[in-house]
Amino acid sequence: MEDILSCINALKNTARTGWMQRGISPAISENIASHSYEVALLSLYISERAKREGIELKPDKVVIMALLHDLPECISGDVNPFVKNSIGSEKKHELESEALKKVLNIKELLIIYTEYAERSSLESLVVELSDKLSTIIQAKRYSKLGYDLHEMIFNLQEEVKKLLERVDERLAKIVREIL
């Protein structure tokens, strides 16, 4: 129990590095826990809407996946994209899985996390889309405060467009409404 409480505390007190790299003060920088919560709510909204449109997916699994997606960062911290790219996705997944086992060694949850990390299901794509949407939404909030994040927003929107090519048009429409 102590491990998960320490992990939650770390997520609540760890600012997302991407914002600080763009000049946003740690005092107002989004933390990992608030980002994960927003991703979970967006994932829930998108998956429930998609289910009503007749798309087969499991909203409960999507939400669990969203809540877990950044959990390993309570140990690793928020690793910036340059480090992620230099170690490679396979090594990153291996390190994150080991971190997750230390904090939350529950087989069923580790399986769901692995599914997310491998992007092997529609549920994992919904979480990935929600992750990017949350970052776009937060970037727009910071833009309103005067930070120049237009290039970042544009690049993330392009990544979302590429992901939308992999999903049903009904799901893509739901995501576009949020963009």
149-171 confidence digits (pLDDT tens): 999 999 999 999 999 999 999 99
- Residue scoring higher pLDDT (54 or 179): 54
Report pLDDT for 87: 73
Rounded mean pLDDT of 88-106? 76
Asked if 128 contacts 163 with a C-beta cutoff of 8 angstroms, the reply is: yes
Tokens of 65: 């996946």
Asked if 107 contacts 131 with a C-beta cutoff of 8 angstroms, the reply is: no
Look up residue 165 and give its amino acid: E
Asked if 74 contacts 8 with a C-beta cutoff of 8 angstroms, the reply is: yes
Report pLDDT for 53: 96
Within a 10 A sphere around the Cβ of 77, how many other Cβ atoms? 15
Top-confidence range, 88-97, 102-111, 148-157: 148-157
All structural domains of the chain: 2-178 (1.10.3210.10)
Supply the Cα-derived Rg of the chain in whole angstroms: 16
Asked if 75 contacts 12 with a C-beta cutoff of 8 angstroms, the reply is: no
- Residues 29-85 have pLDDT tens digits of 999 999 999 999 999 999 999 999 999 999 999 999 999 999 988 887 666 666 666
